[in-house]
Structure 1
Amino acid sequence: MLLRIMSWNVLHGAHREGRWPRLAEIIRANEPSIVLLQECRGWLERDMSQVIAAENDLGMRVWVGFSASGGHTVLAHRRDLPVMAFESNPYTLLHGYGAGRFAIPGLPVPLVVISAHLTPYSVDAAAAEVRTLVARAYRYDGLGVIGGDLNSCPVGDPEPPWAEVQPYNRMIRCLPRETPDEPWRANTIVGRTLTDGQMIDVAAHLADLRGDVSLRAATGRGRVRVDRFHVTAALRDAVVDYWRVDPDGASDHWGIVTVLDTDRVDLSQVRAYT
Protein backbone atom coordinates (compact mmCIF):
# COMPACT_ATOMS: atom_id res chain seq x y z
CA MET A 1 0.00 0.00 0.00
CA LEU A 2 1.32 3.45 -0.92
CA LEU A 3 0.52 6.25 1.52
CA ARG A 4 1.04 9.80 0.26
CA ILE A 5 1.34 12.27 3.15
CA MET A 6 1.32 16.03 2.59
CA SER A 7 2.20 18.80 5.07
CA TRP A 8 1.69 22.54 4.72
CA ASN A 9 1.80 25.65 6.89
CA VAL A 10 -1.18 27.54 5.45
CA LEU A 11 -0.34 30.99 6.92
CA HIS A 12 -2.83 32.36 9.44
CA GLY A 13 -5.74 30.10 8.54
CA ALA A 14 -5.98 30.98 4.83
CA HIS A 15 -9.78 31.36 4.69
CA ARG A 16 -10.23 34.98 5.78
CA GLU A 17 -7.87 36.22 3.04
CA GLY A 18 -9.52 34.04 0.42
CA ARG A 19 -6.47 31.80 -0.10
CA TRP A 20 -8.13 28.55 0.92
CA PRO A 21 -9.68 27.65 -2.49
CA ARG A 22 -6.25 27.83 -4.17
CA LEU A 23 -4.64 25.84 -1.34
CA ALA A 24 -7.33 23.18 -1.59
CA GLU A 25 -6.85 23.00 -5.35
CA ILE A 26 -3.10 22.43 -4.96
CA ILE A 27 -3.65 19.82 -2.23
CA ARG A 28 -6.12 17.90 -4.39
CA ALA A 29 -3.68 17.96 -7.32
CA ASN A 30 -1.11 16.11 -5.19
CA GLU A 31 -3.65 13.38 -4.33
CA PRO A 32 -2.61 12.85 -0.69
CA SER A 33 -3.89 10.06 1.53
CA ILE A 34 -3.24 12.16 4.66
CA VAL A 35 -2.84 15.94 4.96
CA LEU A 36 -1.16 17.78 7.84
CA LEU A 37 -1.82 21.52 8.13
CA GLN A 38 -0.40 24.10 10.51
CA GLU A 39 -1.29 27.66 11.54
CA CYS A 40 -5.01 27.01 11.08
CA ARG A 41 -6.24 30.12 12.87
CA GLY A 42 -9.99 30.55 13.04
CA TRP A 43 -10.79 26.94 12.13
CA LEU A 44 -12.56 26.39 15.45
CA GLU A 45 -14.88 29.38 15.27
CA ARG A 46 -18.42 28.74 16.47
CA ASP A 47 -19.96 27.70 13.16
CA MET A 48 -16.96 25.51 12.17
CA SER A 49 -17.43 26.78 8.61
CA GLN A 50 -13.80 26.34 7.61
CA VAL A 51 -13.67 22.74 8.85
CA ILE A 52 -16.85 22.01 6.89
CA ALA A 53 -15.39 23.72 3.81
CA ALA A 54 -12.16 21.75 4.13
CA GLU A 55 -14.03 18.45 4.39
CA ASN A 56 -16.08 19.32 1.31
CA ASP A 57 -13.20 20.75 -0.73
CA LEU A 58 -10.76 17.94 0.05
CA GLY A 59 -13.25 15.09 0.25
CA MET A 60 -11.59 14.10 3.52
CA ARG A 61 -12.36 13.68 7.20
CA VAL A 62 -10.84 16.65 9.06
CA TRP A 63 -9.63 16.68 12.67
CA VAL A 64 -8.43 19.85 14.43
CA GLY A 65 -5.77 19.78 17.12
CA PHE A 66 -6.72 22.61 19.47
CA SER A 67 -3.98 25.10 20.30
CA ALA A 68 -4.07 27.53 23.21
CA SER A 69 -2.19 29.99 20.98
CA GLY A 70 -4.93 29.84 18.35
CA GLY A 71 -2.52 28.43 15.76
CA HIS A 72 -4.32 25.10 15.52
CA THR A 73 -2.96 22.05 13.72
CA VAL A 74 -5.09 19.94 11.39
CA LEU A 75 -4.99 16.33 10.27
CA ALA A 76 -7.16 15.25 7.33
CA HIS A 77 -7.37 11.82 5.75
CA ARG A 78 -9.13 9.91 3.02
CA ARG A 79 -12.42 8.59 4.31
CA ASP A 80 -11.49 5.01 3.43
CA LEU A 81 -8.45 5.03 5.71
CA PRO A 82 -9.35 3.25 8.97
CA VAL A 83 -8.67 5.74 11.77
CA MET A 84 -8.51 4.28 15.28
CA ALA A 85 -8.19 7.48 17.29
CA PHE A 86 -7.24 11.17 17.20
CA GLU A 87 -5.44 12.96 20.00
CA SER A 88 -4.35 16.52 20.61
CA ASN A 89 -2.81 18.40 23.50
CA PRO A 90 -2.90 22.22 23.56
CA TYR A 91 -0.57 22.59 26.53
CA THR A 92 2.61 20.61 25.88
CA LEU A 93 3.57 22.70 22.82
CA LEU A 94 3.02 26.40 22.14
CA HIS A 95 0.87 25.53 19.11
CA GLY A 96 -0.24 22.10 20.31
CA TYR A 97 -0.28 19.12 17.96
CA GLY A 98 -2.74 16.73 16.34
CA ALA A 99 -2.07 12.99 15.97
CA GLY A 100 -4.04 10.37 14.10
CA ARG A 101 -3.69 6.65 14.75
CA PHE A 102 -4.41 4.49 11.72
CA ALA A 103 -5.00 0.75 11.31
CA ILE A 104 -3.25 0.25 7.97
CA PRO A 105 -3.99 -3.08 6.25
CA GLY A 106 -0.98 -5.37 6.40
CA LEU A 107 0.67 -3.62 9.35
CA PRO A 108 0.56 -5.43 12.70
CA VAL A 109 0.55 -2.24 14.78
CA PRO A 110 -0.97 1.25 14.37
CA LEU A 111 0.64 3.98 12.28
CA VAL A 112 0.78 7.30 14.18
CA VAL A 113 0.84 10.45 12.02
CA ILE A 114 1.41 13.78 13.79
CA SER A 115 0.77 17.33 12.52
CA ALA A 116 3.29 19.50 14.35
CA HIS A 117 4.16 23.17 14.63
CA LEU A 118 7.09 23.88 16.95
CA THR A 119 7.61 27.21 18.66
CA PRO A 120 9.29 29.80 16.40
CA TYR A 121 10.81 31.76 19.28
CA SER A 122 13.54 29.47 20.62
CA VAL A 123 15.22 26.39 19.15
CA ASP A 124 16.02 25.23 22.67
CA ALA A 125 12.32 25.36 23.55
CA ALA A 126 11.50 23.68 20.23
CA ALA A 127 13.89 20.84 21.10
CA ALA A 128 12.02 20.33 24.35
CA GLU A 129 8.71 20.30 22.46
CA VAL A 130 9.92 17.78 19.89
CA ARG A 131 10.79 15.28 22.61
CA THR A 132 7.07 15.02 23.34
CA LEU A 133 6.35 14.38 19.66
CA VAL A 134 9.00 11.66 19.38
CA ALA A 135 7.52 9.92 22.42
CA ARG A 136 4.05 10.08 20.83
CA ALA A 137 5.39 8.80 17.49
CA TYR A 138 6.84 5.71 19.18
CA ARG A 139 3.95 5.28 21.62
CA TYR A 140 2.11 2.48 19.78
CA ASP A 141 4.94 0.04 19.02
CA GLY A 142 7.14 2.20 16.85
CA LEU A 143 5.48 3.23 13.57
CA GLY A 144 5.25 6.99 13.51
CA VAL A 145 5.49 10.05 11.27
CA ILE A 146 6.03 13.63 12.42
CA GLY A 147 5.32 16.24 9.76
CA GLY A 148 5.02 19.98 9.89
CA ASP A 149 6.69 23.31 10.48
CA LEU A 150 9.58 22.55 12.83
CA ASN A 151 10.90 26.14 12.85
CA SER A 152 14.57 25.09 12.99
CA CYS A 153 17.59 24.09 10.93
CA PRO A 154 17.97 20.41 10.04
CA VAL A 155 21.19 18.45 10.37
CA GLY A 156 23.42 18.32 7.29
CA ASP A 157 21.84 21.04 5.13
CA PRO A 158 24.08 23.74 3.62
CA GLU A 159 24.28 26.94 5.63
CA PRO A 160 21.68 29.40 4.30
CA PRO A 161 22.81 32.88 3.21
CA TRP A 162 22.36 34.21 6.72
CA ALA A 163 22.95 37.83 5.67
CA GLU A 164 19.70 37.60 3.68
CA VAL A 165 17.67 36.12 6.55
CA GLN A 166 15.47 38.27 8.80
CA PRO A 167 17.50 39.26 11.89
CA TYR A 168 14.98 37.74 14.32
CA ASN A 169 15.00 34.39 12.50
CA ARG A 170 18.79 34.43 12.30
CA MET A 171 19.06 35.18 16.02
CA ILE A 172 16.71 32.33 16.93
CA ARG A 173 18.01 29.67 14.52
CA CYS A 174 21.77 30.23 14.84
CA LEU A 175 24.34 29.45 17.50
CA PRO A 176 25.36 32.37 19.72
CA ARG A 177 28.40 34.30 18.48
CA GLU A 178 31.36 35.35 20.61
CA THR A 179 32.10 38.41 18.45
CA PRO A 180 30.16 40.42 15.84
CA ASP A 181 32.68 39.32 13.19
CA GLU A 182 32.12 35.62 13.75
CA PRO A 183 30.08 33.98 10.95
CA TRP A 184 26.60 32.78 11.73
CA ARG A 185 26.18 29.01 12.06
CA ALA A 186 22.95 27.03 12.23
CA ASN A 187 21.86 25.69 15.61
CA THR A 188 20.70 22.16 14.79
CA ILE A 189 19.61 21.17 18.30
CA VAL A 190 16.10 20.21 17.11
CA GLY A 191 17.46 18.03 14.31
CA ARG A 192 19.99 16.42 16.65
CA THR A 193 17.25 15.71 19.19
CA LEU A 194 15.23 13.97 16.50
CA THR A 195 18.30 11.98 15.45
CA ASP A 196 18.89 10.97 19.08
CA GLY A 197 15.30 9.69 19.08
CA GLN A 198 16.08 7.54 16.01
CA MET A 199 13.82 9.68 13.81
CA ILE A 200 14.79 9.73 10.13
CA ASP A 201 14.75 13.05 8.24
CA VAL A 202 12.90 11.99 5.07
CA ALA A 203 14.24 14.61 2.65
CA ALA A 204 17.82 14.25 3.90
CA HIS A 205 17.61 10.45 3.74
CA LEU A 206 16.50 10.48 0.11
CA ALA A 207 18.93 13.29 -0.79
CA ASP A 208 21.83 11.17 0.46
CA LEU A 209 20.45 7.97 -1.07
CA ARG A 210 19.97 9.55 -4.49
CA GLY A 211 22.85 12.01 -4.40
CA ASP A 212 20.33 14.82 -5.00
CA VAL A 213 21.04 17.88 -2.86
CA SER A 214 17.98 19.66 -4.33
CA LEU A 215 15.81 17.61 -1.97
CA ARG A 216 17.27 19.70 0.85
CA ALA A 217 15.89 22.95 -0.63
CA ALA A 218 14.41 25.52 1.76
CA THR A 219 10.68 25.61 2.40
CA GLY A 220 10.18 28.91 4.26
CA ARG A 221 10.89 32.63 3.84
CA GLY A 222 13.78 32.29 6.29
CA ARG A 223 15.76 30.32 3.66
CA VAL A 224 15.70 27.17 5.84
CA ARG A 225 14.07 23.74 5.31
CA VAL A 226 11.81 24.28 8.31
CA ASP A 227 9.01 22.07 6.96
CA ARG A 228 10.03 18.45 7.34
CA PHE A 229 8.94 14.87 7.77
CA HIS A 230 10.69 12.63 10.29
CA VAL A 231 9.79 8.93 10.58
CA THR A 232 10.59 6.27 13.15
CA ALA A 233 13.39 3.83 12.33
CA ALA A 234 11.06 1.03 11.17
CA LEU A 235 9.79 3.31 8.37
CA ARG A 236 13.20 4.25 6.93
CA ASP A 237 13.05 1.75 4.06
CA ALA A 238 9.37 2.51 3.47
CA VAL A 239 10.21 6.07 2.37
CA VAL A 240 10.12 5.95 -1.44
CA ASP A 241 9.59 9.58 -2.48
CA TYR A 242 9.56 13.22 -1.39
CA TRP A 243 8.97 16.54 -3.11
CA ARG A 244 8.20 20.18 -2.41
CA VAL A 245 4.98 21.83 -3.58
CA ASP A 246 5.05 25.37 -4.98
CA PRO A 247 2.55 27.50 -3.00
CA ASP A 248 1.82 29.71 -6.04
CA GLY A 249 1.26 32.67 -3.71
CA ALA A 250 -1.25 30.81 -1.52
CA SER A 251 1.12 30.57 1.49
CA ASP A 252 4.54 31.78 2.64
CA HIS A 253 5.70 28.15 2.96
CA TRP A 254 6.20 25.45 0.35
CA GLY A 255 4.16 22.34 0.88
CA ILE A 256 5.94 19.00 1.20
CA VAL A 257 4.88 15.47 0.26
CA THR A 258 6.33 12.08 1.09
CA VAL A 259 5.29 8.62 -0.07
CA LEU A 260 5.50 5.53 2.14
CA ASP A 261 5.32 1.97 0.81
CA THR A 262 3.88 -0.03 3.70
CA ASP A 263 5.14 -3.28 2.16
CA ARG A 264 8.68 -2.04 2.90
CA VAL A 265 8.22 -1.46 6.63
CA ASP A 266 10.98 -3.11 8.68
CA LEU A 267 8.83 -5.22 10.97
CA SER A 268 11.91 -6.39 12.88
CA GLN A 269 11.98 -2.90 14.46
CA VAL A 270 8.31 -2.97 15.45
CA ARG A 271 8.00 -3.71 19.14
CA ALA A 272 6.28 -2.55 22.28
CA TYR A 273 7.92 0.58 23.69
CA THR A 274 5.55 1.10 26.59
Structure 2
Amino acid sequence: MALEHEPQGALVQIAVMSQNLGRGGWKRTDGAIEDRWPQLAEAINAVRPDVLLGQEAEGRSADGHARLTRAEHDLDMDGILAPSSSGLGPVTMYRRETMGRRTYLNRDFSAHETHHGFEVVGWTLPCLPAPLTAGSVHLTPYDPVRAASEVSFMGSRVHRAGGGYAILGGDFNFPPVAGPEPAYEQMRPYNRGSRLVVTDPELPGPPEPDRSVAWRIAGKGFVDVAWHLYKESGDENLLTRTSSDERIDWVLVSDALVPCITDYGVIDTGSDHRGIWVKLDLTKAVTSKVWSYR
Protein backbone atom coordinates (compact mmCIF):
# COMPACT_ATOMS: atom_id res chain seq x y z
CA MET A 1 0.00 0.00 0.00
CA ALA A 2 1.36 3.42 -0.96
CA LEU A 3 1.94 5.90 1.84
CA GLU A 4 -0.29 8.97 1.85
CA HIS A 5 2.53 11.31 0.84
CA GLU A 6 3.63 9.26 -2.15
CA PRO A 7 2.23 9.70 -5.68
CA GLN A 8 -0.66 7.32 -6.17
CA GLY A 9 0.36 4.88 -8.91
CA ALA A 10 2.81 5.69 -11.68
CA LEU A 11 2.09 9.34 -12.44
CA VAL A 12 2.46 9.99 -16.16
CA GLN A 13 0.26 12.99 -17.00
CA ILE A 14 0.28 16.33 -15.23
CA ALA A 15 -1.34 19.72 -15.66
CA VAL A 16 0.73 22.83 -14.96
CA MET A 17 -0.95 26.22 -14.57
CA SER A 18 0.45 29.74 -14.34
CA GLN A 19 -1.57 32.59 -12.86
CA ASN A 20 -0.72 36.13 -11.86
CA LEU A 21 -2.92 36.46 -8.79
CA GLY A 22 -3.18 40.24 -9.01
CA ARG A 23 -1.75 41.38 -5.67
CA GLY A 24 -2.75 38.20 -3.94
CA GLY A 25 -6.36 38.28 -5.07
CA TRP A 26 -7.13 41.45 -3.14
CA LYS A 27 -8.05 44.60 -5.04
CA ARG A 28 -8.58 48.13 -3.77
CA THR A 29 -11.81 49.50 -5.28
CA ASP A 30 -13.16 52.94 -4.34
CA GLY A 31 -11.24 52.88 -1.10
CA ALA A 32 -12.51 49.42 -0.17
CA ILE A 33 -10.67 46.10 -0.42
CA GLU A 34 -12.32 43.51 -2.64
CA ASP A 35 -11.57 39.85 -2.00
CA ARG A 36 -11.27 38.25 -5.45
CA TRP A 37 -9.72 35.03 -4.21
CA PRO A 38 -12.95 32.94 -4.37
CA GLN A 39 -13.28 33.72 -8.09
CA LEU A 40 -9.62 32.89 -8.69
CA ALA A 41 -9.88 29.67 -6.70
CA GLU A 42 -12.94 28.57 -8.67
CA ALA A 43 -11.13 29.13 -11.97
CA ILE A 44 -8.01 27.32 -10.78
CA ASN A 45 -10.06 24.39 -9.51
CA ALA A 46 -11.74 24.16 -12.90
CA VAL A 47 -8.31 23.40 -14.37
CA ARG A 48 -7.26 21.30 -11.36
CA PRO A 49 -3.52 21.67 -11.90
CA ASP A 50 -0.99 19.36 -10.35
CA VAL A 51 1.43 22.29 -10.20
CA LEU A 52 0.35 25.94 -9.90
CA LEU A 53 2.93 28.66 -10.56
CA GLY A 54 1.54 31.88 -9.09
CA GLN A 55 2.81 35.44 -9.12
CA GLU A 56 2.02 38.51 -6.98
CA ALA A 57 1.26 36.42 -3.91
CA GLU A 58 1.05 39.63 -1.90
CA GLY A 59 0.17 39.22 1.75
CA ARG A 60 0.26 35.42 1.66
CA SER A 61 2.78 35.31 4.52
CA ALA A 62 0.91 37.81 6.72
CA ASP A 63 -0.97 36.77 9.87
CA GLY A 64 0.79 33.46 10.20
CA HIS A 65 0.50 32.66 6.48
CA ALA A 66 -3.29 32.85 6.78
CA ARG A 67 -3.89 33.56 3.09
CA LEU A 68 -1.50 30.84 1.97
CA THR A 69 -3.19 28.37 4.31
CA ARG A 70 -6.56 29.43 2.93
CA ALA A 71 -5.36 28.81 -0.61
CA GLU A 72 -3.95 25.40 0.35
CA HIS A 73 -7.33 24.44 1.80
CA ASP A 74 -9.38 25.81 -1.12
CA LEU A 75 -7.20 24.18 -3.79
CA ASP A 76 -6.23 21.02 -1.89
CA MET A 77 -2.57 21.80 -2.63
CA ASP A 78 0.60 22.50 -0.67
CA GLY A 79 2.23 25.90 -1.17
CA ILE A 80 5.70 27.41 -0.87
CA LEU A 81 6.34 31.15 -0.97
CA ALA A 82 9.55 32.53 -2.45
CA PRO A 83 11.29 35.26 -0.44
CA SER A 84 10.61 38.60 -2.12
CA SER A 85 12.04 42.06 -1.56
CA SER A 86 9.17 43.62 -3.53
CA GLY A 87 6.44 41.92 -1.50
CA LEU A 88 4.93 40.59 -4.72
CA GLY A 89 6.79 37.32 -4.78
CA PRO A 90 5.89 34.08 -6.53
CA VAL A 91 4.27 31.03 -4.97
CA THR A 92 4.54 27.41 -6.08
CA MET A 93 1.67 25.09 -5.18
CA TYR A 94 1.47 21.38 -5.88
CA ARG A 95 -0.96 18.53 -5.39
CA ARG A 96 0.63 16.01 -3.06
CA GLU A 97 -1.87 13.35 -4.13
CA THR A 98 -0.27 13.22 -7.57
CA MET A 99 3.18 14.79 -7.20
CA GLY A 100 4.10 13.37 -3.81
CA ARG A 101 6.21 15.32 -1.35
CA ARG A 102 8.66 17.77 -2.82
CA THR A 103 12.20 16.41 -2.83
CA TYR A 104 14.01 19.59 -3.85
CA LEU A 105 13.88 23.29 -2.91
CA ASN A 106 16.40 25.93 -3.97
CA ARG A 107 16.15 29.69 -3.57
CA ASP A 108 19.88 30.47 -3.44
CA PHE A 109 20.99 33.93 -4.63
CA SER A 110 17.49 34.93 -5.79
CA ALA A 111 17.26 37.87 -3.37
CA HIS A 112 20.23 39.47 -5.12
CA GLU A 113 19.49 38.41 -8.69
CA THR A 114 15.75 39.10 -9.01
CA HIS A 115 13.30 41.93 -8.37
CA HIS A 116 10.32 39.85 -7.23
CA GLY A 117 12.07 36.67 -6.02
CA PHE A 118 12.44 33.14 -7.35
CA GLU A 119 12.73 29.57 -6.12
CA VAL A 120 12.86 26.10 -7.63
CA VAL A 121 10.73 23.22 -6.37
CA GLY A 122 11.35 19.63 -7.48
CA TRP A 123 9.77 16.20 -7.26
CA THR A 124 11.07 12.67 -7.78
CA LEU A 125 8.60 10.86 -10.03
CA PRO A 126 8.73 7.18 -10.96
CA CYS A 127 8.32 7.91 -14.68
CA LEU A 128 11.43 10.12 -14.96
CA PRO A 129 15.09 9.20 -14.44
CA ALA A 130 15.84 12.54 -12.74
CA PRO A 131 13.88 15.13 -10.72
CA LEU A 132 11.19 17.26 -12.33
CA THR A 133 11.72 20.89 -11.34
CA ALA A 134 9.60 24.00 -11.73
CA GLY A 135 9.98 27.71 -11.06
CA SER A 136 7.41 30.50 -10.94
CA VAL A 137 8.66 33.51 -12.90
CA HIS A 138 7.87 37.18 -12.38
CA LEU A 139 10.41 39.37 -14.15
CA THR A 140 11.06 43.03 -13.52
CA PRO A 141 8.81 45.07 -15.84
CA TYR A 142 11.11 48.04 -16.05
CA ASP A 143 14.09 47.10 -18.20
CA PRO A 144 14.61 44.32 -20.78
CA VAL A 145 18.34 44.20 -20.00
CA ARG A 146 17.69 43.53 -16.32
CA ALA A 147 14.83 41.16 -17.18
CA ALA A 148 17.11 39.21 -19.53
CA SER A 149 19.65 38.88 -16.72
CA GLU A 150 16.93 37.63 -14.36
CA VAL A 151 15.57 35.07 -16.79
CA SER A 152 19.09 33.86 -17.56
CA PHE A 153 19.61 33.31 -13.84
CA MET A 154 16.30 31.46 -13.56
CA GLY A 155 17.04 29.29 -16.56
CA SER A 156 20.24 28.13 -14.89
CA ARG A 157 18.87 27.70 -11.38
CA VAL A 158 15.87 25.60 -12.42
CA HIS A 159 18.39 23.14 -13.89
CA ARG A 160 20.54 23.06 -10.74
CA ALA A 161 19.04 19.74 -9.62
CA GLY A 162 20.32 18.17 -12.84
CA GLY A 163 18.72 15.84 -15.31
CA GLY A 164 17.21 18.34 -17.73
CA TYR A 165 13.50 18.11 -16.81
CA ALA A 166 12.52 21.69 -16.04
CA ILE A 167 9.50 23.97 -16.30
CA LEU A 168 9.32 27.76 -16.05
CA GLY A 169 5.97 29.51 -15.98
CA GLY A 170 4.75 32.95 -15.11
CA ASP A 171 4.54 36.64 -15.87
CA PHE A 172 7.54 37.40 -18.06
CA ASN A 173 6.40 41.01 -18.63
CA PHE A 174 7.87 41.16 -22.15
CA PRO A 175 6.87 40.08 -25.68
CA PRO A 176 7.12 36.36 -26.46
CA VAL A 177 9.66 34.66 -28.71
CA ALA A 178 7.48 35.22 -31.79
CA GLY A 179 3.89 35.81 -32.80
CA PRO A 180 1.41 38.60 -33.57
CA GLU A 181 2.23 42.23 -32.97
CA PRO A 182 1.21 43.63 -29.58
CA ALA A 183 -1.91 45.78 -29.32
CA TYR A 184 0.10 48.97 -29.41
CA GLU A 185 -2.97 51.15 -28.92
CA GLN A 186 -3.63 49.42 -25.58
CA MET A 187 -0.10 49.91 -24.24
CA ARG A 188 0.43 52.32 -21.39
CA PRO A 189 3.43 54.64 -21.83
CA TYR A 190 5.45 52.86 -19.16
CA ASN A 191 5.02 49.53 -20.97
CA ARG A 192 5.82 51.05 -24.36
CA GLY A 193 9.08 52.31 -22.90
CA SER A 194 10.01 48.82 -21.66
CA ARG A 195 8.52 46.33 -24.12
CA LEU A 196 9.37 47.98 -27.43
CA VAL A 197 12.71 48.32 -29.20
CA VAL A 198 14.22 51.67 -28.30
CA THR A 199 14.48 54.06 -31.26
CA ASP A 200 15.36 57.71 -31.75
CA PRO A 201 12.29 59.73 -30.69
CA GLU A 202 13.24 62.39 -33.21
CA LEU A 203 13.02 59.83 -36.02
CA PRO A 204 9.70 58.11 -35.41
CA GLY A 205 9.12 54.81 -37.13
CA PRO A 206 6.86 51.79 -36.71
CA PRO A 207 6.99 50.24 -33.23
CA GLU A 208 8.71 46.91 -32.81
CA PRO A 209 8.40 44.50 -29.87
CA ASP A 210 11.61 43.85 -27.95
CA ARG A 211 11.84 40.04 -27.89
CA SER A 212 15.31 39.89 -26.38
CA VAL A 213 14.09 38.48 -23.05
CA ALA A 214 12.27 35.61 -24.76
CA TRP A 215 15.21 34.96 -27.05
CA ARG A 216 17.58 34.81 -24.08
CA ILE A 217 15.66 32.04 -22.33
CA ALA A 218 15.10 30.20 -25.62
CA GLY A 219 18.87 30.16 -25.97
CA LYS A 220 19.02 28.20 -22.71
CA GLY A 221 17.03 25.37 -24.23
CA PHE A 222 13.49 26.34 -23.19
CA VAL A 223 10.50 26.14 -25.52
CA ASP A 224 7.38 28.31 -25.36
CA VAL A 225 4.54 25.76 -25.24
CA ALA A 226 1.94 28.01 -26.89
CA TRP A 227 4.21 28.95 -29.79
CA HIS A 228 5.34 25.34 -30.23
CA LEU A 229 1.76 24.10 -30.56
CA TYR A 230 0.83 27.01 -32.82
CA LYS A 231 3.60 26.10 -35.24
CA GLU A 232 2.22 22.57 -35.38
CA SER A 233 -1.48 23.43 -35.70
CA GLY A 234 -1.81 27.03 -36.91
CA ASP A 235 -4.50 27.57 -34.24
CA GLU A 236 -4.39 31.30 -33.48
CA ASN A 237 -6.32 30.81 -30.23
CA LEU A 238 -3.07 29.47 -28.80
CA LEU A 239 -1.61 32.96 -29.12
CA THR A 240 -4.38 34.72 -27.19
CA ARG A 241 -3.05 37.72 -25.27
CA THR A 242 -2.80 37.16 -21.53
CA SER A 243 -2.82 40.87 -20.69
CA SER A 244 -4.56 43.77 -22.41
CA ASP A 245 -1.74 44.36 -24.89
CA GLU A 246 0.46 41.27 -25.23
CA ARG A 247 0.98 37.57 -24.49
CA ILE A 248 3.35 38.13 -21.58
CA ASP A 249 2.47 35.01 -19.55
CA TRP A 250 4.15 31.81 -20.76
CA VAL A 251 4.86 28.24 -19.77
CA LEU A 252 8.25 27.07 -20.99
CA VAL A 253 9.59 23.53 -20.90
CA SER A 254 13.12 22.26 -21.35
CA ASP A 255 14.05 20.37 -24.50
CA ALA A 256 13.64 16.95 -22.87
CA LEU A 257 10.00 17.73 -22.07
CA VAL A 258 8.95 19.10 -25.47
CA PRO A 259 7.69 15.69 -26.69
CA CYS A 260 5.47 15.58 -23.58
CA ILE A 261 3.33 18.57 -24.61
CA THR A 262 -0.24 17.45 -25.31
CA ASP A 263 -2.44 20.51 -24.72
CA TYR A 264 -2.52 24.20 -23.79
CA GLY A 265 -5.26 26.66 -22.91
CA VAL A 266 -5.99 30.22 -21.81
CA ILE A 267 -8.76 31.09 -19.35
CA ASP A 268 -10.24 34.22 -17.77
CA THR A 269 -9.92 34.06 -14.02
CA GLY A 270 -10.89 37.53 -12.80
CA SER A 271 -7.28 38.69 -12.51
CA ASP A 272 -5.72 41.34 -14.76
CA HIS A 273 -3.81 38.43 -16.33
CA ARG A 274 -5.47 35.46 -17.93
CA GLY A 275 -4.50 32.07 -16.59
CA ILE A 276 -2.67 29.58 -18.80
CA TRP A 277 -2.37 25.82 -18.46
CA VAL A 278 -0.36 23.06 -20.07
CA LYS A 279 -0.81 19.29 -20.06
CA LEU A 280 2.23 17.04 -20.23
CA ASP A 281 2.45 13.28 -20.79
CA LEU A 282 5.68 12.43 -19.02
CA THR A 283 5.95 8.99 -20.63
CA LYS A 284 7.09 10.82 -23.76
CA ALA A 285 10.04 12.58 -22.13
CA VAL A 286 13.48 12.14 -23.67
CA THR A 287 15.42 9.84 -21.35
CA SER A 288 18.55 9.21 -23.41
CA LYS A 289 20.30 12.49 -22.61
CA VAL A 290 20.13 12.79 -18.84
CA TRP A 291 22.92 15.06 -17.63
CA SER A 292 24.30 16.40 -14.36
CA TYR A 293 24.75 20.07 -13.49
CA ARG A 294 28.30 21.25 -13.26
Bin the TM-score by the shorter chain: over 0.9
Q: Distance in 2 between matches of 1:143 and 1:204?
A: 19
Q: CA deviation at 1:141?
A: 1.8
Partner in structure 2 of residue 172 of structure 1: 194
Residue 24 of structure 2: SS of its match in structure 1?
Answer: coil
Partner in structure 1 of residue 43 of structure 2: 26
Structure 2 residue corresponding to 1:255, chosen from 265, 275, 284: 275
Partner in structure 2 of residue 114 of structure 1: 135
Task: With the length of structure 2 as denominator, give the TM-score of the two structures.
Answer: 0.89
Q: Distance in 1 between matches of 2:151 and 2:274?
A: 21
Q: CA deviation at 1:161?
A: 2.7
Query: Does the Cα contact within 8 Å between 1:55 and 1:62 map onto a contact in 2?
Result: yes
Deviations 1:95-143 (A, max 9, x none): 0113211111211100111011000111111000001111022222211
Structure 1 residue corresponding to 2:87, chosen from 70, 75, 79: 70
Task: With the length of structure 1 as denominator, give the TM-score of the two structures.
Answer: 0.95
Q: Does 1:132 align with 2:153?
A: yes
Q: Does 1:8 align with 2:19?
A: yes
Q: Does 1:215 align with 2:226?
A: no
Q: Percent identity?
A: 34
Q: Does 1:55 align with 2:54?
A: no
Q: Distance in 2 between matches of 1:22 and 1:87?
A: 31
Q: How does 1:173-212 map to 2 (within 5 A)?
A: 173-178=195-200, 179-212=202-235
Q: Distance in 2 between matches of 1:63 and 1:160?
A: 33
Q: Distance in 2 between matches of 1:91 and 1:49?
A: 27
Query: Does the Cα contact within 8 Å between 1:126 and 1:190 map onto a contact in 2?
Result: yes
Deviations 1:28-50 (A, max 9, x none): 11111111110011111132110
Query: Does the Cα contact within 8 Å between 1:28 and 1:58 map onto a contact in 2?
Result: yes
Query: Does the Cα contact within 8 Å between 1:43 and 1:72 map onto a contact in 2?
Result: no
Q: CA deviation at 1:174?
A: 0.4
Q: Distance in 1 between matches of 2:286 and 2:51?
A: 21
Query: Does the Cα contact within 8 Å between 1:153 and 1:173 map onto a contact in 2?
Result: yes
Partner in structure 1 of residue 284 of structure 2: 264
Stretches of structure 1 lacking an aligned partner (at least 5 in a row): none
Aligned AA for 1:225? R
Number of corresponding residues = 271
Q: Does 1:87 align with 2:110?
A: no
Stretches of structure 2 lacking an aligned partner (at least 5 in a row): 1-11, 27-32
Query: Does the Cα contact within 8 Å between 2:138 and 2:171 map onto a contact in 1?
Result: yes
Partner in structure 1 of residue 259 of structure 2: 237
Q: Does 1:123 align with 2:136?
A: no
Query: Does the Cα contact within 8 Å between 1:65 and 1:87 map onto a contact in 2?
Result: no
Q: CA deviation at 1:180?
A: 4.7
Deviations 1:53-112 (A, max 9, x none): 011100111111110110111011112212102233333210011321111121110011
CA 1:166–1:142 in 2, change beyond 3 Å: closer, same or farther?
same
Between 33-42 and 172-181, report the one with greater CA deviation. Answer: 172-181
Query: Runs in 1 of length 4+ with deviation above 6 angstroms?
Result: none
Structure 2 residue corresponding to 1:157, chosen from 179, 183, 207: 179
